[in-house]
């Protein structure tokens, strides 16, 4: 039965093939392989012998549905090309693997309209879903939580906080950057804005409003979250006359740094530059980047822990300002 002739597709045994080989019903085969109901020792021996002879491999998804657990979790991210999200994913997968869970990932390409559909599809096949920095409106998040109850958010709080979440204190991080620049003597800075629908961007804006005042002016330039966004926004940032650039992320700051280098603008001699996240590249470029350290993998690990929480909970991670060579007193 396991042989194949040239040009034919390889034989793949099905549960019905196993049932015929063992002279039992397909339901009995399923009971033996999933362990959902006890069967006699003779039936189990016949089924397992048939499985071995035919080389049958059960469908993990089908078995998971029968058991009510798949030992798989899902994760939805805005952009896997962004090192930040890749690091959070690594934290989730490392913790999940330690518990013998697999991880399925969906990249929505920074499209908020795709997030709900991706999360619902993953929820069908997994034991829980982690939403990383979702951009969807609060109403959509609340509706999704009703349809996918085993849901955890990273860097997003919905109204009413009905979804467990692990979040960075972005307000505290940006406030620390502003205090640092003001302490160096900068009186006019420019902020390169992140995605308008990002929850973390709204938190940053609150910190900037609180920091702005007499002696410390904050201009703003639309930007985004990627290195090309930073590269393209650098000229507009310089045009504001600011002596320091506050980037939405390290990714953005690295793009700014590349453009300033092309223009012959010295950092920090002519303009200071800060990032956010403390990605590995921030420590490798010249000058090394002043930024705000966030443990991305810890975010992922804590999100995994919240998947099993009995009630909605919120974990807040405190960031840390890391001062390096990209900031200095203005000339």
In this prediction, residue 308 carries a pLDDT of 73
Among candidates 230, 236, 269, which has minimal Cα distance to 249? 230
d(CA 190, CA 169): 21
Predicted pLDDT of residue 7: 45
Q: pLDDT per residue over 61-99, tens digit each?
A: 455 544 456 789 999 999 988 888 999 999 999 999 988
**Radius of gyration for the alpha carbons in the chain, expressed in angstroms and rounded:** 26
State the Cα–Cα distance between residues 268 and 287, nearest whole angstrom: 8
Cα separation, 130 vs 111, in Å, equals: 17
Task: Quickly list H helices, 35-82.
Answer: 41-54, 60-67
Q: What is the pLDDT of residue 54?
A: 84
CA distances from 50 to 16, 19, 21, 24, 321 (A): 11, 8, 6, 10, 62
Q: Which residues of the chain have pLDDT under 50?
A: 1-9, 61, 65-67
**What pLDDT, on the 0 to 100 scale, is given for residue 179?**
98
Sign of CA dihedral 115, 118, 120, 122: negative
pLDDT value, residue 310: 67
Round to whole Å and give the CA distance between 213 and 315: 31
Instruction: State residue 83's pLDDT score.
Output: 85
pLDDT at position 321, please?
A: 98
State the pLDDT at residue 3: 43
Q: Residue 16 class from Cβ within 10 Å (0-12 exposed, 13-18 middle, 19+ buried)?
A: exposed
């Amino acid at each position: 039965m396991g042989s194949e002739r040239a040009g034919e597709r390889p034989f793949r045994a099905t549960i019905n093939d196993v049932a015929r080989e063992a002279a039992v019903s397909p339901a009995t085969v399923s009971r033996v392989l999933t362990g959902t109901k006890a069967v006699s020792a003779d039936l189990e021996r016949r089924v397992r012998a048939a499985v071995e002879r035919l080389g049958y491999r059960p469908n993990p998804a089908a078995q998971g549905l029968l058991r009510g657990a798949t030992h798989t979790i899902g994760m939805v991210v805005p952009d896997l090309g962004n090192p930040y999200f890749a690091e959070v994913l690594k934290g989730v997968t490392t913790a999940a693997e330690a518990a013998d869970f697999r991880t399925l990932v969906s990249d929505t390409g920074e499209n908020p309209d795709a997030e709900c559909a991706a999360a619902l599809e993953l929820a069908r096949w997994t034991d829980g879903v982690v939403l990383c920095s979702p951009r969807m409106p609060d109403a959509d998040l609340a509706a999704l939580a009703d349809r996918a109850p085993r849901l955890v958010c990273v860097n997003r709080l919905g109204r009413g906080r009905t979804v467990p979440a692990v979040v960075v204190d972005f307000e505290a991080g940006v406030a620390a950057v502003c205090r640092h620049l003001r302490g160096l003597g900068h009186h006019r800075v420019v902020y390169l804005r992140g995605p308008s629908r990002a929850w973390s961007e709204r938190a940053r804006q609150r910190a900037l409003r609180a920091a702005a005042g007499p002696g410390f002016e904050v201009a703003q330039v639309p930007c985004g979250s990627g290195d090309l966004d930073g590269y393209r926004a650098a000229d507009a940032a310089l045009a504001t006359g600011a002596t320091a650039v506050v980037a939405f992320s390290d990714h953005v700051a690295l793009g700014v740094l590349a453009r300033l280098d092309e223009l012959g603008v010295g950092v920090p001699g002519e303009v200071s530059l800060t990032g956010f996240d403390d990605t590995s590249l921030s420590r490798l470029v010249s000058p090394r980047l002043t930024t705000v350290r966030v443990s991305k993998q810890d975010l992922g690990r804590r999100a995994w822990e919240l998947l099993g929480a009995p009630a909605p909970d919120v974990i807040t991670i405190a960031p840390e300002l890391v001062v390096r060579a990209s900031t200095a007193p203005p000339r």
